[in-house]
Amino acid sequence: MNLRLYIIAIIPAIIFLLAIYLTDRRDREPAKLLLLTYLFGALSVIPSIVVEEVLIRFNVFSGILQAAYNAFIVAALTEEFFKRQVLLRIPHKSKYFNEKLDGIVYGVFAHLGFATVENIIYVVYTYTNNPFIGLYRGIFSVPAHGIFGITMGYYLSLSRFDSKQERKKANLRKSLLVPVLLHGIFDFILMANIPQLTLFFVPYVIYLWWNNQRKLSKFVFDSKSQIRKKE
């Protein structure tokens, strides 16, 4: 076992998790529930791999359509679906999910549980001899999963705390569709093998960070406002 590679694979997720956990300063979630969400997020890799293998066998496309199929259906839809199932079945039903910021916190924990296992697979087992894969995935891929978790948690929270059924249902749908779209675009840029398209990769990642930082900041502000009202 190469301990150094394991550390390289795990550290990016730990850093992101700590950052999100410390953001929730006013009413932090129970460690047990966070750990459970993280672990089941990690376990969601298993059904994701099984379904992805099946979907790959059904691929009838080639060229750019194949890249789109692999990016949006095989990878994005499958992975986001199972990570969302973790959120809906564990923290979403909990009494501790009592403010909007909680959706983002749990969303990130589920997604980074998945990302931790995926990163171990890539860094430790698949690309062992590539010294740059850990750096690349630590900068781009692992944080991207965290960002998709922010997006999913954001819309789950909007759905949970909205009193109007129409908006509630719309945001519940968005909690799957928007992360799938963002994830699919991220993967498609890398899979399409179009040099001109790769020029948009870094700007797209910057956009993802900016857009989701706004979502996070909005709910952090809401959390602080609720605490002040209680005081």
pTM for the predicted model, two decimal places = 0.95
Alpha helices (H) along 30-96: 31-43, 45-57, 63-68, 78-89
Tokens of 210: 């900016």
**Pick from 159, 210, 213, 148: nearest CA to 182:** 148
> For residues 223 and 219, what is the distance between their CA atoms, to the nearest angstrom?
6
CB proximity list for 229: less than 8 A, separation 6 or greater: none
**Pick from 129, 128, 116, 130: nearest CA to 11:** 116
What pLDDT score does 79 carry? Answer: 99
Distances (CA, A) of 33 to 37, 101, 217: 6, 15, 23
What pLDDT score does 187 carry? Answer: 98
- Name the residue ranges covered by the structural domains of the chain: 8-223
Q: Any idea which residue has 């359509």 for tokens?
A: 65
The list of the chain residues with pLDDT below 50 reads: 231
> For residues 30 and 89, what is the distance between their CA atoms, to the nearest angstrom?
16
Burial of 153 (0-12, 13-18, 19+ CB in 10 A): buried
CB proximity list for 194: less than 8 A, separation 6 or greater: 64
Q: pLDDT tens for residues 164-188?
A: 999 999 999 999 999 999 999 999 9
Q: Report DSSP state, residue 27.
A: S
What is the percent of the chain with per-residue pLDDT over 70, rounded to a whole number?
97
